[in-house]
Homo-oligomer: A and B are copies of this chain.
Amino acid sequence: MSFPPDRILLGPGPSDVHPAVLESLGRPLLGHLDPAFLPILDEVVADLRTAFRTDNAATLPISGTGSAGLEAAMVNLIEPGDPVVVGVNGVFGGRLAEVARRAGADVHTVERDWGRIIEPEAFLDACRTHDARVAAIVHAETSTGVAQPVADIGAALGDTDTLFVLDTVTSLGGIPVEIDQWQVDAAYSGTQKCLSVPPGLSPVTFSDKAVAKLKGRSTPVQSWYLDLSLILAYVDGAGGRTYHHTAPISMLYGLHRGLKLLLEEGLEARWARHARLGGMLQDGLVEMGLPLLAQEGHRLPQLTTVGLPDGVEEAKLRRQLLDEHGIEVGGGLGQFAGRAWRIGLMGHSASERNVRLVLAAIADLLG
């Protein structure tokens, strides 16, 4: 393998990784039960609680990518036959519904066109109508660039039997995520978005209400690998450290360092940085006459979907951006395939220099 070519990662993830995180990945290994490793794991868990704004005991990194976290959230909380309501306005809502179906749920979707939000009242109506055991929605739809309003959903479900599951893969560390204040019962994220750590781990957090449901299950969790109670027996020092699977040490070094960088900058400061630079990018694209595809007022600063002029060969132009400018952006998916780009400004990638570079490159290519 030759050394990777110079890239600026402005796609939907992975984002560029800080050199300090890359350095940490290359450190010599420790065993997953080494007394010198366990404090690192403990710090990862504590820092994840800070990042998620939660006191949830059941907070930990799943040994898989964001989609493994999604599956963990769903299969731990769903029992066969459970009515489950899922909001679907992009790829990742669709994935939630699919995972719920495979877990044997009775799935009801609330669907909206790509680029539109799901009105919280409509989502809550569906939860009530179907007496949902689990209600799942995506906070930051990576396929559309939509920021879903979710702040009031958890409160409305708080006194019911419904567990509120939130996909924070692209939101955590990019825009405010308030697990406790919003009464979210299970959330999952990915390391490779606004946390700016390589892909491979999925931070998750489960509320006490969710853990109670898990403990009261009458059927085993269908996945052994993602069974939260078994994983907690290793991560949670309180009851000893029961081996479940071999922890991915190097990736945990990386997440540890990435979370320290996040907390050194400060959550609010990082949110503000994303907001400022996302706004700068979106203003620049609009000035160029390009349409933004996410509903106005609900645009993610860290992930922008932008339409391309008619007649442009999307994949060819995107390859040119990569080859001539060394900049990676994402193509459109689903309803946006072939006619849109997804431009990410996440974590270490979210810099004024990168906004200027990508705007100049797009102007050059479309020139």
- A contact patch SS: loop
CA distance A67 to B226 in the complex (A): 10
Contact of A3 among B27, B65, B247 (CB under 8 A): B27
Q: Which residues of B contact A248 (CB under 8 A)?
A: 65, 198-200, 251
CA distance A316 to B322 in the complex (A): 56
CA distance A34 to B149 in the complex (A): 33
Contact of A64 among B30, B68, B243 (CB under 8 A): B68
| With A4-B30, A251-B251: A71-B223 Cβ-Cβ less than 8 Å | yes
Asked if A192 CB lies within 8 Å of chain B CBs, one says yes
Q: Which residues of B contact A341 (CB under 8 A)?
A: none
Q: Which residues of B contact A333 (CB under 8 A)?
A: 243
Q: Which residues of B contact A319 (CB under 8 A)?
A: 35
Nearest B residue (CB) for A246: B199
Asked if A245 CB lies within 8 Å of chain B CBs, one says yes
Nearest B residue (CB) for A251: B200
CA distance A40 to B24 in the complex (A): 22
CA distance A34 to B248 in the complex (A): 25
* A220 contacts B102, C-beta separation under 8 Å: yes
* B68 contacts A225, C-beta separation under 8 Å: yes
CA distance A127 to B135 in the complex (A): 43
Closest 7 CB pairs of A and B: A200-B248, A26-B26, A198-B250, A67-B245, A199-B246, A25-B25, A22-B26
Interface of A toward B, CB cutoff 8 Å:
1, 3-7, 9, 11, 13-14, 16-17, 22-32, 34-37, 40, 43, 63-68, 70-71, 95, 98-99, 101-103, 190, 192, 198-200, 220-225, 243-251, 253-254, 256-257, 260, 319, 322, 328, 333
